[in-house]
Amino acid sequence: DQQVKQNSPSLSVQEGRISILNCDYTNSMFDYFLWYKKYPAEGPTFLISISSIKDKNEDGRFTVFLNKSAKHLSLHIVPSQPGDSAVYFCAASANFNKFYFGSGTKLNVKP
Amino acid sequence: DTAVSQTPKYLVTQMGNDKSIKCEQNLGHDTMYWYKQDSKKFLKIMFSYNNKELIINETVPNRFSPKSPDKAHLNLHINSLELGDSAVYFCASSQGTSSYNEQFFGPGTRLTVL
C-alpha cells in the first residue's frame, strides 16, 4: 500500500515553459515533504522541501505547493531548462527520518 | 571525491548465492540508510543506523543483514538470493535523525539475480 503516489510517470515540456509535477499522499500524519531530482546512474539529490505549517516554499526557479486538505503537493519549475530533464521523486515523512517515496516522474524538457 | 560511494555498481549473481554491497560516506554523518528501488520504481527504506545502532528496520526478510562497522560504513549482506531481490539498492547518509536532516544518496547498486 503506497502512501505517496506520483500518478504521472512522465512529462514533456518545452524549454522556457512551466513544468508542474504532482504528488498525492494518503497519510494525514505526514508533516514534512521533499522533492528529489535524479539523473541516470546517479543517486537522488535533494531539491526543495516544505513543512506542513506552510503552503508554499520557493527556491529560485523551483516552487513547491502543499494542499493539506487535498493531501496533494506539486512542484513548479519556471522557466524549465533542458538541464532539468531528470526523474523527480516526492517523499513524505511523519516527524522522523523515515521517508516514503513516490515512484517518480520523468521530466523531459525539449530545447 | 564522492560523498557517498557504493561498491559494486553492478552485481549479477545466481539464485541461492550470498552477496554483499558496501557503502561508505566521507561526510562525517552519523546516520546511514539502505533503500531498495523495486521494479515499480518506488524507493523504500529498508534500514537505518545512527552511530552504528539500528534505528529503522522495515519489514525486510531476515536474509538481509546490515552491518555498520563504524559510522562511515554501512554494508548490506544478502543470503540465499532470490529472483525478487533484483532491484537497485541505494545507500544514503544524513547528519542526525530528524526528517529535516538532508539525506545524501549514493549512486546505487543494480543487483540482478538470475
The predicted-structure confidence for A63-99, as pLDDT tens digits, reads as follows 999 999 999 999 999 999 999 999 999 999 997 789 9
Share of chain A above pLDDT 70, in %: 98
Size of interface A-B (CB pairs under 8 A): 61
**Residue A48 buriedness (CB in 10 A; 0-12 / 13-18 / 19+):** middle
If pLDDT is split at 50, 70 and 90, which confidence band does B1 have? Answer: low
Give CA–CA dist A107/A11, Å, rounded.
5
- The minimal CB distance from A101 to the residues B31, B43, B96 is found for B43
Report yes or no: B45 and B54 within 8 Å, Cβ to Cβ.
Answer: no
Report yes or no: A93 and A100 within 8 Å, Cβ to Cβ.
Answer: yes
Reported as a single tens digit per residue, the pLDDT across B68-91 is: 999 999 999 999 999 999 999 999
Give CA–CA dist A76/A29, Å, rounded.
24
Q: Which residues from B are below 8 Å from A98, CB to CB? A: 45, 48, 56, 99
Reported as a single tens digit per residue, the pLDDT across B2-15 is: 799 999 999 999 99
Question: In terms of Cα–Cα distance, which of B30, B27, B35, B26 is closest to B71?
Answer: B30
More confident residue, A14 or A96: A14
